[in-house]
């Protein structure tokens, strides 16, 4: 066949792809913006668009994995009998944690309780109710919360906790890197195993891919139970979307102390060549909330291994350790709604004086944009702190489209100058905070498995506000006269990137 014949075949194949993918995308994509973005990709680049859609076009976890994860929500809302303990139904397990065992001991008894109405302001009750209704996690009171904003100090504390552990260590991290900090944690895990402890580690198959064959293999040889989360392979393409990742960061030691936040197990100059030193924050938590975080780890462990660990040793009787009231807020593509985004938007609407947000990636959807604009219109001071440059240029360009609009609407946008601000924090009037692993972008809202905390205690929120003020002091406020979309070449690049924002 000559070149003319091949050209005709190629053109015909492209139009076949367009004709076939049009109903597929229209029928399978619920959100118009996402639908239009995919149609644009497929119509302009049919073959690359087809393969990209097959890889990441739909929120497919795999039939068995999705069935296991969604079953807990069905039982949670329909009040089915407690037959799904092996599926991690949170209400069933919570009931079990609150009940005495057959011997009459109170090893399972929980001190978790909704605070009295007087201690939880009326305006926050809808948020607490939404989290409990859709995620299954009640409020936990009597916690001690301390924030660690130095990466090496956080690893020092984590290693010390592992060295002092007496029964088990559970780690779940998106990135666990084979560098000097990763080796320190790995050595501590090996020492713990040699003392007779059980160490379980979950690492994301993409985020931690470089350590799995090196440090990961060594850990397995030494007896550490290391499991990769959401494994990637071309054979999985027809059954599961490859870019649905577990983005959570969590450590639970002996069921008594937990660490969670934005920091991975990686040295802070991880992204130095692209965006500078990473700046993160992690919360160290002692108190009843550690039982909820332990349960979340055990759920993720079950979904990867099929092993449900329903033993008293993993849920020691909690003791009141402080006065912080908080709620665990997990989210992911198995949720029945965009729970994290909904809670976030609700918090924005509740604010009356000041909102401070810090995030490395800012690609919001329309509900959050509307909420932030309306907050600025009603006189709320909104400060958004983002890195001047992140490690994802396309995401930076898409973000510029959104924050340029917000600057024109009265939102204060600040460029963090010392490096990549990777902390994901939000405070509202200094009285409510949302903090954790999720970025304020569409990927974290809808695609990744994330772990956040909702803080209701003034003291804990005040500590987070002080940290945010430090970030603001190291930042430069972006003026309307210096917006990146004012220059034509950048404006075109930003305009093209915004078309992909529903897919980022």
What was the pLDDT predicted at 59?
58
Say which range, 77-86, 155-164, 406-415, has the weakest mean pLDDT.
77-86
Confidence of residue 338 (pLDDT cuts 50, 70, 90): confident
Q: How far apart are CA 499 and CA 504, in angstroms?
A: 10
What was the pLDDT predicted at 29?
64
Q: What residues are paired with 99 via a beta bridge?
A: none
Within 256-369, strands assigned E span 257-261, 277-279, 282-286, 324-331, 354-358, 362-363
pLDDT (average), residues 431-448: 91
pLDDT of 89 above 70 = no
Confidence of residue 443 (pLDDT cuts 50, 70, 90): confident
pLDDT (average), residues 39-63: 72
pLDDT of 156 above 60 = yes
pLDDT of 239 above 60 = no
Domain 339-503 class?
Answer: alpha beta
What was the pLDDT predicted at 53?
76
CA distance to 60, 124, 363, 423, per residue, from 53 (Å): 12, 40, 20, 31
pLDDT (average), residues 146-154: 96
What was the pLDDT predicted at 484?
87
CA distance to 14, 124, 149, 265, 473, per residue, from 153 (Å): 55, 33, 8, 12, 22
Structure confidence by residue, pLDDT tens digits, 260-278: 999 999 999 875 667 789 9
What was the pLDDT predicted at 242?
55
Give the global pTM.
0.83
pLDDT of 74 above 60 = no
Listed by start position, the domains of the chain span: 3-56, 339-503
Q: Which of 179, 201, 186 is nearest to 270 (CA)?
A: 179
Q: What residues are paired with 413 via a beta bridge?
A: 384
> Above pLDDT 70, what percent of the chain?
81
pLDDT of 7 above 50 = yes
pLDDT of 92 above 50 = no
């Amino acid at each position: 066949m000559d070149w003319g014949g091949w050209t005709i075949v190629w053109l015909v194949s492209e139009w076949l792809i367009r004709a076939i993918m049009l109903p597929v995308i229209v029928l399978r994509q619920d959100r118009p913006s996402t639908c239009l973005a995919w149609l644009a990709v497929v119509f302009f680049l049919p073959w690359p668009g087809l393969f990209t859609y097959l890889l990441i076009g739909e929120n497919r976890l795999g039939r068995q994995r999705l069935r296991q994860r969604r079953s807990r929500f069905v039982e949670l809302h329909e009040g089915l009998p407690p037959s799904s303990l092996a599926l991690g139904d949170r209400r069933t397990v919570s009931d079990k944690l609150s009940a005495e065992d057959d011997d009459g001991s109170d090893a399972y008894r929980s001190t978790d309780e909704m605070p009295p109405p007087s201690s939880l302001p009326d305006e926050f009750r809808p948020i607490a109710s939404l989290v409990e209704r859709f995620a299954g996690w009640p409020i936990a009171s009597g916690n001690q919360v301390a924030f660690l904003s130095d990466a090496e100090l956080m690893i020092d504390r984590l290693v010390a906790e592992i060295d002092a552990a007496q029964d088990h260590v559970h780690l779940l991290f998106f990135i666990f890197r084979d560098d000097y900090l990763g080796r320190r944690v790995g050595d501590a895990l090996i020492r713990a195993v040699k003392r007779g402890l059980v160490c379980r580690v979950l690492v994301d198959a993409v985020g931690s891919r470089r350590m799995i064959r090196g440090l990961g293999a060594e850990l397995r040889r030494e007896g550490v139970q290391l499991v990769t989360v959401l494994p990637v392979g071309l054979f999985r393409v027809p059954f599961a979307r490859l870019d649905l990742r577990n983005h959570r960061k969590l450590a639970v030691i002996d069921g008594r102390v937990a660490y969670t936040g934005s920091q991975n197990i990686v040295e802070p100059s991880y992204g130095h060549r692209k965006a500078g030193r990473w700046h993160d924050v992690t919360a160290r938590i002692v108190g009843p909330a550690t039982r909820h975080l332990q349960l979340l780890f055990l759920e993720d462990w079950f979904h990867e291994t099929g092993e449900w660990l329903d033993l008293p040793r993993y849920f020691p009787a909690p003791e009141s350790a402080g006065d912080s009231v908080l709620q665990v807020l997990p989210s992911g593509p198995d949720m029945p709604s965009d729970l994290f985004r909904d809670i976030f938007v609700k918090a924005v609407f509740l604010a009356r004086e000041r909102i401070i947000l810090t995030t490395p990636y800012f690609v919001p959807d329309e509900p959050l944009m509307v909420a932030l604009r309306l907050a600025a219109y009603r006189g709320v001071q909104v400060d958004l702190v983002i890195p001047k440059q992140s490690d994802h240029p396309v995401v930076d360009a898409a973000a510029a489209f959104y924050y340029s609009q917000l600057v024109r609407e009265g939102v204060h946008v600040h460029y963090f100058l010392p490096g990549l601000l990777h902390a994901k924090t939000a405070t509202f009037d200094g009285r409510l905070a949302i903090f954790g692993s999720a970025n304020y972008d569409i990927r974290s809202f809808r695609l990744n498995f994330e772990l956040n905390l909702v803080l209701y205690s003034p003291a804990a929120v005040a500590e987070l506000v002080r940290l945010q003020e430090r970030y603001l002091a190291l930042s430069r406020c972006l003026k309307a006269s210096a917006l990146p979309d004012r220059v034509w070449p950048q404006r075109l690049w930003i305009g093209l990137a915004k078309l992909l924002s529903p897919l980022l």
